[in-house]
Structure 1
């Protein structure tokens, strides 16, 4: 019975993310693209801090570095409600859902990172890398998503913009 209830809640989170109009569709695609860029930025910062290439010639390596975290995020965050329509204009709920979703996706991302890199980490490496990954991506997601929500909220409060042609 408990599993069925969780499945319904997960399905409801996905259903509540589906756009109902053009504005909501634009917001969803924008947040998806912004989130993907967050993980690429994280990979660039991480690679630079380790003295690895990050230029255009290393684009595929940067994407490979970002991929485990993005995969974890995009597989788990929708079921955690991180893309729900109502969050797109509500800063606090967006921050809470983002944090909860990242905390749930983070260990999967770290695990996938070590699998992708075919590297068996030590306990200290796992802890230090894990904490840096947890905090860095959380901050980057907040830096991107919270201003995004405030912008959407301001647009929503302005109401629809009417474009009238001036008569000559």
Structure 2
């Protein structure tokens, strides 16, 4: 009987996300910060659209609104490969992994939102809020993460050209 390799898909995704140098570490932290900012922007816009306070005086309420979605993202997305080193400069793969990771994270984020708000939604509310959350956060993550990968791709290409000319 053959012994299977101990690595798992999730474990390999986490290993592939671990920075191996300073540049990769900086890129990972920038990506994490940008993701957090995307969820905060989502919360600000959502609160404003519902007539709720979203200014600086309501920063704790805004963060509380963003928290369940960010929490679900950071609990699930790393295991889905959304922070892999090889995505940092590959826009198409970044978009694909971001989409799959958000679709996997999104249901938990919606459930946590209603738990944190201590409200039981109607089926219609859960469906409409869920769909708006799915689409809007997907767009915000794309608007941030794809240009991030494009910029890194451009930087890496320029660095490669400089090194090959030497």
Structures share a fold, TM > 0.5? Answer: yes
Distance 2:65 2:8 in 1: 34
Matched, 1:55 2:55: yes
Partner of 1:51: helix, strand, or coil?
A: coil
Which TM-score applies when normalising by structure 1? Answer: 0.91
Q: Deviations over 1:16-66 (max 9, x none)?
A: 000011110010000000000000000000000001111111000000000
Which TM-score applies when normalising by structure 2? Answer: 0.92
**Does the C-alpha gap of structure 1 residues 121 and 7 become closer, same or farther in structure 2, counting only changes over 3 Å?**
farther
Distance 1:63 1:135 in 2: 20
1:7 Cα deviation after fit: 6.7
Distance 1:102 1:6 in 2: 27
1:90 Cα deviation after fit: 0.5
> Aligned residue for 2:40?
40
Gaps of 5+ in 2: none
> Aligned residue for 1:159?
159
> Aligned residue for 1:128?
128
Following superposition, which runs of at least 4 residues in structure 1 exceed 4 angstroms of deviation?
A: 4-7
Distance 2:66 2:80 in 1: 21
Aligned-CA RMSD value: 1.7
> Aligned residue for 2:144?
144
1:6 Cα deviation after fit: 9.9
Gaps of 5+ in 1: 163-168
> Aligned residue for 2:75?
75
Distance 1:145 1:91 in 2: 8
Distance 2:7 2:112 in 1: 24
